Structure 1
Amino acid sequence: MKPNAPPLRRGWTTGSCATAAAKAAWMVLQGHEPPASVWITLPSGKEVAFSLCQFTGTTTAPCAAVVKDAGDDPDITHGAMIRCTVRALPVGSGIIFKAGPGVGTITRPGLPLPPGEPAINPTPRAMIRTALTQANHGAPPDAEVTISIDHGEELAQRTLNGRLGIVGGLSILGTTGIVMPFSCSAWIESIHRGVDVARAEKLTHILGATGNVSEKAGQALYNLPDTALIEMGDFAGGLLKYVRHHPVSRLSIAGGIAKMTKLGQGCLDLHSSRSRADMSALAQLAAQHGAPDGLASLIKNSPTVAEAFLLAQTHNFSMGNLIAQKAWSVAYKTLSPAPILLDVLVFDRAGILVGQASSPSLPL
C-alpha cells in the first residue's frame, strides 16, 4: 500500500451473501413482506446487516438475491448476484441444500463434502441453518435451500474448481464470513484442497508449480494427470507444510529461476513484495562452485536473477542445478520428518528445464 493510503475495505464471502438471501426468502415464505435488509450472524458471533436487491419466485418458493461486495479484494465474484430459493419440506426433513444454476457439484473425494453434494461448504451451511432457525422463532425449520449464482458457471472457469472436481459452477465458500483484501488464506486453502483431492484419488506423485509455464512443463515431463497438479503460486511454504502433515509418496516442486533462487535462500513466500533474491548470496554460491571472480562480481551486481543467469550462460557456467539443489535442501528441510521423495525442477521462461535436483533414490 502507498504511504497514508486509506485502509483496504473488507468484503463478504459468498457464504455470507447466500445466508442473507436464504433468511430473507424464508421470511417471505412465512408471509412477511420482502425485507429491504436482514441481519445474519457470522461464525464469530458478530451480527451484520445485508441489503436485498431482488425478490422473485412464487409464494411457495420465494427467491431472494444479494449482490456480493468483496470490498477491495480482487475477487472474481465481486458484484455477482447470489440467489437463494427456499421451499417448506415435510416435518422431520431438516434443511436440505441444493445447487442451482451457477453453483457447482462435487464429483471427486477429498473435499469437505462427499461426491454428489452441492459445493456449499460446511461453514456456509451452518450459517444458513442458524439464520433460518432465527427467522423461524428459534426452531430449526424443515426446508429445501437452493443457491444459485448468475453467470457462476462462466466465472468458475477462472477458478481451480474444475481441477478439484467441482463441476457446473462456483463454490459457496467462507470460514469467517468476511473477505480480507488481498488475503493469502483463500489461495492456501485451495492448495490444501488440491492435496486432499490428490490423496483421496490415491495419487502417489503430485507437482506444485509457481506458474503456468513451469506447471505445463513439469506435467509433460512426468506425464501427470491434472489432479496431480497443485497451483502453489508464491506459497511454497503453504504447500510444503501441508504435505508434511498430509504426505504423498513423491512431491515435485517446479518453478522459474528467480523464484527457485528465493526458495533456495530460505524464502517460503516467493512473492516479489514479500521476499527478494540475495544477489550477493547467489554470487557466492556461483563462486563456491567454480565461477571465475569476474563472473561472480557481475552476478552480485546484476539487477535480477534472470540477468545473472544469462550472464552465467555467456560465460559457459551452468547455475541451474546449483539453484535447484539449494531449493531442494530448503524444501526437504521443511518437509522433514515426513518420508517423502522430493525433486525440484527449474525452468526458464520458455519452459526449458535448466536445473534439477532430487532425493538420492530418485534418478535424474
Structure 2
Amino acid sequence: MSTGGGREAQLKHTGLRPGWTTGACATAATTAAYTALLTGGFPDPVTITLPKGQTPSFALTAESLTPDAAMAAVTKDAGDDPDVTHGAVIRSTVRLLPPGSGVVFRAGEGVGTVTLPGLPLEVGEPAVNPVPRQLMREHVARVAAEHGAPGDVEITLSIDHGAEIARSTWNPRIGILGGLSVLGTTGIVVPYSCSAWIDSIRRGVDVARAGGLTHVAGCTGSTSERTVTGVYDLPEIALLDMGDFAGAVLKYLRRHPVDRLTICGGFAKLSKLAAGHLDLHSARSQVDKPFLAALARETGATTSLAAEIETANTGLAALRLCEAASVPLGDAVATRARDEALAVLRGAPVTVDVLAIDRAGTIVGRSAPKGP
C-alpha cells in the first residue's frame, strides 16, 4: 500500500510507518461491496482516493454476496501508531435502495450511536464522522457512474469487537454508546500524532458545552480525575481526559470557551506547563529543575535549598525538599501553570485554577482561580 509521496517524505526521517484511519478502511470496504453488488465481483485489492489525493489499495479480509446485499471487510493497519483500533476488522454491508433515497448510514455491531448533543452528528445517528461519510458518498457516486447505477444505497458499518475496544476510548463518556466511531479527516494515521486523542478532547468540550456545563476539568489521568471530582463534584462529562495534551485543551477552549476550567495533574507534569510547555509527555518535554529552583527562591528558598533542588533526581523530590523547609513550591507551580494557561487562552472568557497532586492523589499545590 502506498500513502503518496508527500506524507511518506514527511515521515521518512522518523523511520515510522503511517497507517490508515477507520474512515479510510470503511471507504475501501464500502467501495468493494458496492462494486460487487453491481457487478458480481469484488475488487481485491480495492483502491480508493483519499481527500488529499493519495490512492492506497487495501486487501479484503472477508467478502460475501447475496442477491440483496454485499459485505466486504478490511483489517485496519494503523502503521506504527499505538492505536487501539489497530488490527480491527471493519465491515461494510451495502444494500440497494429505491431511486432518490440517497446514501443512508447505519450502525452495525461494534459501531457506536450518538446519544448526547454537541457532536458533529445528530442524536440517534451512527458514529460515522462527516469526512468519512463524504468520502464514502463520493466513492459510491464514482462506482455508480462507472456502472450506470443511481447510487442509492444503505451502508451498514460494523467493527469486530468494537464494543469491547470502545471501553478503552472516550466514546462512553461523550455519549457514543455501543461501539467505536468511524473517524478520519485525511485517511492517514500519522504515528504518534495522537490526533484521535486530541479529537476526543475537542468532542468532550463540545458535549460539555451542549449539556450546559459551565465548569470542566482537564485531567492528566485517572488519579487526577478522582481528585478533581472530590473537590468539585463534577459530572463525568465535565472531565476532559487531557493526558499530556494541555495545549489541545487550552487552544480549543480559546475558540469554544466555558466559564471555568480546572487543570489537575501530577506535580512534575504541571511544572512543565508552568515552564511554558504545552505537551507534557516525557519524550517531548522535561522537568526543568533550574526553573523549579528559581521558582523556589521566589517563594523563600535559601541558596542552599535551591542548589539541592537543581540536583534533585525528580520533580517530586524537589517538591519534598521544599515541603520539609516549608517553602510552598507546589502552590507556586500551580499558580505559574495557571498563568501560562491564561496566556494560551489569550483573553478568552475562561476562569482557570490549577490543582497539583502527588502519585497518591493528594493535593500538593493549588492556585487561586483567575480569569482574563
TM-score (norm 1): 0.95
Distance 1:286 1:101, change over 3 A: same
Picking from 71, 77, 80, the partner of 1:69 is 77
CA contact (8 A) 1:252 1:342 kept: yes
Whichever residue aligns with residue 314 of structure 2, its letter is: T
Picking from 331, 345, 352, the partner of 1:342 is 352
After superposition, give the CA deviation of every residue in 1:3-43 in whole Å (9 maximum; x if it has no partner).
Answer: x9971111111111111111111111113322222111101
| 2:266 is the alignment partner of 1:256 | yes
Instruction: Show structure 1 runs of 4+ deviating over 3 A.
Output: none
Picking from 34, 40, 50, the partner of 2:42 is 34
After superposition, give the CA deviation of every residue in 1:263-294 in whole Å (9 maximum; x if it has no partner).
Answer: 11111111111112221121111112111222
CA contact (8 A) 1:62 1:85 kept: yes
| 2:25 is the alignment partner of 1:17 | yes
Whichever residue aligns with residue 256 of structure 1, its letter is: G
| 2:124 is the alignment partner of 1:116 | yes
CA contact (8 A) 1:132 1:140 kept: no
Gaps of 5+ in 2: 1-11
Which whole-Å CA distance do the structure 1 matches of 2:138 and 2:273 have between them? 44
| 2:298 is the alignment partner of 1:284 | no
| 2:161 is the alignment partner of 1:151 | yes
CA contact (8 A) 1:129 1:140 kept: no
Which whole-Å CA distance do the structure 2 matches of 1:281 and 1:151 have between them? 47
Distance 1:328 1:62, change over 3 A: same
Which whole-Å CA distance do the structure 2 matches of 1:101 and 1:110 have between them? 23
Q: Which residue of 2 aligns with 1:46?
A: 54
Distance 1:48 1:360, change over 3 A: closer
Q: Which residue of 2 aligns with 1:185?
A: 195
CA contact (8 A) 2:29 2:73 kept: yes
User: 1:150-169, aligned counterparts within 5 Å?
Assistant: 150-169=160-179
Deviation at 1:57, TM superposition (A): 5.0
CA contact (8 A) 2:299 2:327 kept: no
Gaps of 5+ in 1: none
Deviation at 1:185, TM superposition (A): 2.2
Which whole-Å CA distance do the structure 2 matches of 1:290 and 1:127 have between them? 60
Size of the alignment, in residue pairs? 358
CA contact (8 A) 2:37 2:65 kept: no
Q: Which residue of 1 aligns with 2:5?
A: none
Picking from 271, 282, 295, the partner of 1:272 is 282
After superposition, give the CA deviation of every residue in 1:198-219 in whole Å (9 maximum; x if it has no partner).
Answer: 0011100000011211111102
TM-score (norm 2): 0.93
User: 1:286-301, aligned counterparts within 5 Å?
Assistant: 286-301=296-311
Which whole-Å CA distance do the structure 2 matches of 1:258 and 1:286 have between them? 14
Which whole-Å CA distance do the structure 1 matches of 2:65 and 2:230 have between them? 49
Distance 1:140 1:357, change over 3 A: farther
| 2:111 is the alignment partner of 1:99 | no
Which whole-Å CA distance do the structure 1 matches of 2:226 and 2:122 have between them? 29
